[in-house]
Amino acid sequence: MGKRFISACLALLALTASAHAREFARPETFTLRNGLQVVVITDRRAPVVTHMVWYRVGAADEPRGYSGIAHFFEHLMFKGTRQIAPGEFSRTVARNGGEDNAFTNWDYTAYYERIARDRLELVMRMEADRMRNLRFSDETFNSERDVIVEERRQRVDNSPGAVLGERMRAMLWPHHPYGTPVIGWLHEIQSLDRERALAFYETWYAPNNAILVVAGDVDAAELRPLAERYYGRLRPTQNLPARTWTRDPPNVGPMRVTHSDQKVRQPSFSRLYRAISYGTDTGRQAHALDVAIEILGGSETSRLYRALVEEQRIAVSAGASSSTSGLGGGSVSVWATPVEGVTLEQVEAAADAVIAAYLRDGPTEPELTRAKNSLSANAVYTRDSQESLANMYGASLAQGESIDDVVNWPRDIEAVTRDEVMTMARDTLDIDASVTGWLLPEEGR
């Protein structure tokens, strides 16, 4: 499972940042007596269901010094219970024509199965079982740790861009847990132990800290008895800890970091800005920011792309994106990859000129309309995908939003004004709240 987590996270981030539909049907929801929230998104187009359990726990909840524990469970949750032998979970799903997956973020950990409607009860039984009854030996734990260390080596440590990105985040969030990578720092993964992992599991993996999202050929009246049968008997965690995270001190000024590695073929410039998020904003701020950044760099018609790639022809790619789904705050990234013969200094200066002009003049009406339409178009795509809808509701609820927030999202995007866009762009694209990263080949130093 672990191998898939980074691409799953990226897909999900992109999705929750920008993709809600112009009108979302309101899902049915109910809560079991043990605290499990259930969301049902009926979709009768095909006799299939997407079954997801979202835990309100992620990398940001790890005890300091034990990074990687949250992601570790992406692996451990497939190691069996008294009912299910190690590895049997995924084999059973596959044997029944389904597929499964899992992913971890700073805010949540989610487990996913897509399967024929008549096998829903099977995956509910197995998923409920492993919510409270996971069993794994020291041996299993240690061998899985080696797998994760190898995963980190491949995905991060062998990727200069990923190494740079990790450090940029650590600088952007110097004290907040978002500065720690989801997969964990290598030396901390290596020293994780079964006992600490079990304590984490027993605290956080509980019905009163989870959201069950079922999308597909089922409605709440059909689902409720099944949910009661399999999840209803599970014991909640008493005194569930509050998700109180350390906050960062105020920004002091622009930060920079350069990473050089012989594996780099293509130098690149990137920048992260601190931003609000749907979890931390008030009113329509995150909506306005999503629109603002879509205009700046969300597509090939955006300001950055047109200026750097098409007009000045100094970059092979350039863009910006907002990451606004976080429970504890968000970020905006801006990037450009220069064409041969152009320096990072030049593309950075060009990007800064585009940003300065944007902050001075604001968006045009056509840009505003196009950006809103583009976000809505992504939303339409989301609405049409059972899995994406389930993802969207699960992630949004796990990240502090309500069903109303999600349902109203398309309307709120539509309502964003030019003034709101300019305010959020100016508040966010503040060099004093930024980290700039340069990625260079070793010989470029």
Q: Which is nearer to a copy of itself, 234 or 435 (CB)?
A: 435
CA–CA dist 177, 430 (Å, integer):
22
CA atoms 235, 236, 241, 244: torsion sign: positive
Q: Which stretch binds a copy of itself (CB under 8 A): 85-93, 244-252, 302-310, 342-350?
A: 244-252
Residues in a beta bridge with 113 = 51, 100
Residue among 13, 198, 220, 257 that touches a copy of itself (CB under 8 A): 257
Residue 154 interacting with a copy of itself (CB under 8 A): no
Q: Which two tokens stand for residue 94?
A: 């596959």
Residue 158 interacting with a copy of itself (CB under 8 A): no
Closest separation in Å from C-beta 445 to a copy of itself: 9
Q: Which is nearer to a copy of itself, 83 or 191 (CB)?
A: 191
Residue 82 interacting with a copy of itself (CB under 8 A): no
Instruction: Give the relative orientation of helices 285-297 and 365-383 as an angle to the nearest 10 degrees.
Output: 110
CA–CA dist 267, 161 (Å, integer):
10
Q: Which is nearer to a copy of itself, 255 or 351 (CB)?
A: 255
Residue among 137, 154, 258, 402 that touches a copy of itself (CB under 8 A): 258
Q: Which stretch binds a copy of itself (CB under 8 A): 85-93, 142-150, 251-259, 262-270?
A: 251-259
CA–CA dist 183, 147 (Å, integer):
12
Residue 166 interacting with a copy of itself (CB under 8 A): yes
CA distances, 186 to each of 5, 183, 216, 217 (Å):
17, 8, 39, 43
CA–CA dist 432, 435 (Å, integer):
9
Residue among 239, 244, 262, 282 that touches a copy of itself (CB under 8 A): 244
Residue among 9, 19, 40, 164 that touches a copy of itself (CB under 8 A): 164
Closest separation in Å from C-beta 320 to a copy of itself: 22
Task: Tell me which residues in 169-228 interact with a copy of itself (CB under 8 A).
Answer: 170-171, 174-175, 179-180, 185-188
Residue 254 interacting with a copy of itself (CB under 8 A): yes
Query: 441 and 265 in contact (C-beta within 8 Å)?
Result: yes
Q: Which of 23, 28, 62, 74 is catalytic?
A: 74
Task: Tell me which residues in 57-76 interact with a copy of itself (CB under 8 A).
Answer: 64-65
Closest separation in Å from C-beta 66 to a copy of itself: 9
Closest separation in Å from C-beta 158 to a copy of itself: 13
CA–CA dist 95, 87 (Å, integer):
12
Residue 149 CB coordination number (10 Å): 17
Residue 194 CB coordination number (10 Å): 18
Closest separation in Å from C-beta 168 to a copy of itself: 9
Residue 253 interacting with a copy of itself (CB under 8 A): yes
Closest separation in Å from C-beta 70 to a copy of itself: 16
Residue 153 interacting with a copy of itself (CB under 8 A): no
Residue 4 interacting with a copy of itself (CB under 8 A): no
144: annotated active-site residue: no
Q: Which residues bind a copy of itself (CB under 8 A)?
A: 64-65, 163-164, 166-167, 170-171, 174-175, 179-180, 185-188, 244-247, 249, 252-260
Residues classed as catalytic: 74
